[in-house]
Structure 1
């Protein structure tokens, strides 16, 4: 019999995994997967600054602060790559290490003024999801705040991906053809980066940088080993990410370990199994 706390934790983790796998599929196909890593790490200074300015740990305020630095890093990467002519991987590495280091310095300098555990930026707070809930005036619980955060992010993601399905599809597989038929590939690229920032920030607060990056990269990369059909890749990546989240939760309960680390471990093991299966099948 599953408990209420376990139900909410698994549900929030599953919704977060769906969010990340949807966006991560496009990142993998466009060969900019590590942009998600950059955004996840670059959110730390935004969170610290939001706490300093407002003095509040309300999730919406932290999302705004983290989102601003998340968008900033995408524009800085594009600037270094296109204007300064720095290689894409180098531009990503320079920006996310700089901003993450800046966040660590800000946290260390203002540690007495803010109530923030730096380990949460790596491991998240999945275990505390059922504790932070919305309540009515009469004290009735309306569910965890994190649940509403990931639901809103999921609705925005689905709306964006449905509206821009054709544009994103064509510009992902054939950018030159997309430009020839009037699709603004640069604009759609930045919109995708904005959605990536939104998704990363919405998931970062509860999952941390480690799990966010794993959910963005591992599911679509694993499924890409067995299918090249885009629609199958999207659907199967979602299923893989859900399995990764649910399996990781029970693994963390079994060994009393970090939930984020357990979910990433499950994802890595599943990737290895799929890889070995593909190699054996192709012999």
Structure 2
């Protein structure tokens, strides 16, 4: 149950922020942030000596925002957006790898854990408060991240929505579009870092991109899209866990694979954008003509 609860918290958090990234055509920036925060994690670990430190979350979030700022700055200098993302995330991730190899190669700061995660160990990674065991650490981290996401987006939903659809219009009516842009990127950074130990940096990208992409094919309304994205994410977690238990395979990998299968099915069967329905409508229109 703890594994499923962790997966569901990841799926819901990623679905919410991923829906806004999808509308802003910035889905792959989640990949950039998930890799670029590694230097912040390493530096925070070296300064605090602990992987449980709050400073690790804060440092990673700050480095994630720095990566977003550099991507935007390069883009304003004339570099294409996809090239900016590629340059920043590969460079910053490489810096993190170098720091690990130089200063943390003798400690339990495993790159495989950062990249792929291991959700099987979630129930045994406990959080203690004043010497009292208060439950799995990942549940607390992801729960607080989800509360932050829901609180921020719930309080400023109209502003985030307008900035996602038309940032120039938002700026024209007095909404600080740049502020909400970086706020969204901060939420993506928090979600990514909070998910490291459970699903890893790479697999969290699948939950940020695939369920919102499936939901995008189902509706034209943002609130409904977020709802569908959450449903797709939760379904991927539940079905992925069952399939992984049956195949005895990687749980997190199977969850994302199931999300991919659901996306393909949606692409084929969606009543608005599905390929089969489009083909059927085209044949009907041709026959009527």
The answer to whether the superposition gives a TM-score over 0.5 is: yes
Partners of 1:47 and 1:221 lie apart in 2 by 29
Task: Please name the residue that 1:249 is paired with.
Answer: 241
List aligned pairs for 1:1-283, cutoff 5 A. 7-58=1-52, 60-82=54-76, 84-135=77-128, 141-277=133-269, 278-282=274-278, 283=280
* Secondary structure in 1 matching 2:18: helix
* Secondary structure in 2 matching 1:33: coil
Q: CA RMSD in A?
A: 1.7
- Greater alpha carbon shift after TM alignment, 174-183 vs 265-274: 174-183
Task: Please name the residue that 2:285 is paired with.
Answer: none
* Contact 2:125–2:136 (Cα < 8 Å) also in 1: yes
Q: CA deviation at 1:98?
A: 0.5
Superposition TM-score, scaled by structure 2 size: 0.90
Superposition TM-score, scaled by structure 1 size: 0.92
* Secondary structure in 1 matching 2:107: coil
Call closer, same or farther: CA 1:180–1:120 in 2, change over 3 Å. Answer: same
Partners of 1:252 and 1:72 lie apart in 2 by 37
Q: CA deviation at 1:60?
A: 2.7
In structure 2, the gaps of 5 or more residues are: 281-289
Call closer, same or farther: CA 1:136–1:157 in 2, change over 3 Å. Answer: closer
Query: Displaced runs of 4+ in structure 1, greater than 4 A?
Result: 135-139
What is the aligned residue count? 275
Q: CA deviation at 1:118?
A: 1.0
In structure 1, the gaps of 5 or more residues are: 1-6
- CA radius of gyration, larger in: 2
